[in-house]
Structure formats: structure tokens, C-alpha cells
């Protein structure tokens, strides 16, 4: 998601990943002029007007969002998707 946003927008795309190496790999691919790595999710929220999340499950969503409630701003957009794995039937 961050890769596509960075490729098709001007300026920096701020990214945070609980696994920092994933953010660093994206920054190496697209360059520091496109990807700005944030040290915490709260820092990313403070710097942003629109935040996209793609988290693994409800437990992770709760733990991440509980940490940012105090940093949300009036008028900002917070969009969340959940990852899922199709196991078949």
C-alpha cells in the first residue's frame, strides 16, 4: 500500500512498520526522497492528515490504536483494513 502511494504522490510518504526492516527495504527501493520512516506509529499520526493501516487481526488493531488515541486530530482520516488469509474449504 505504501509503495503505491509513494509512487503516485508528490513529496514524502510517511511509513511505520512494527518490523522496521520492512520500512527500510521500501526506503532503499524508492529512496529517502519518497519514503520517510517514522520511529513510532504515534509520530506518524502526528505528522499526517490521512493514515492507512493494514493490520493482521483485531488484537493487533486494538493494541496499535490504543497507543494513538491521544494523538488523533480533528478532521484527520484514519482508514483501516485487515489482512486475511484464505484457507480454502
Residue 88 in domain: no
Residue 68 in domain: yes
Residue 39 in domain: yes
Residue 89 in domain: no
pLDDT top residue among 4 and 70: 4
Contact 64, 53 (CB under 8 A): yes
Exposed e or buried b for every residue in 16-49, given b needs 16+ CB within 10 A?
Answer: beeeeeebeebbeeeeeebbbbbeebbebbeebe
Residue 89 confidence (pLDDT): 56
Q: Determine the structural domain holding residue 28 and report its residue range.
A: 2-82
C-alpha cell at 67: 497507543
What is the average per-residue pLDDT within 5-29?
93
Q: Can you give the pTM of this predicted structure?
A: 0.78
Q: 29-82 pLDDT, tens per residue?
A: 999 999 999 999 899 999 988 988 888 888 888 888 887 888 888 888 888 887
Q: How many domains does the chain have?
A: 1
Q: Which CATH number covers residue 41?
A: 3.40.50.720
Residue 56 in domain: yes
Amino acid at each position: 500500500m505504501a509503495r503505491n502511494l509513494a509512487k503516485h504522490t508528490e513529496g514524502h510518504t510517511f511509513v511505520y512498520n512494527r518490523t522496521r526492516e520492512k520500512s527500510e527495504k521500501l526506503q532503499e527501493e524508492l529512496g529517502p526522497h519518497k519514503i520517510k520512516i517514522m520511529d513510532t506509529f504515534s509520530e506518524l499520526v502526528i505528522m499526517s492528515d490521512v493514515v492507512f493501516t493494514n493490520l493482521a487481526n483485531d488484537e493487533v488493531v486494538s493494541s496499535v490504536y490504543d497507543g494513538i488515541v491521544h494523538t488523533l486530530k480533528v478532521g484527520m482520516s484514519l482508514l483501516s483494513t485487515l489482512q486475511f488469509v484464505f484457507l480454502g474449504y
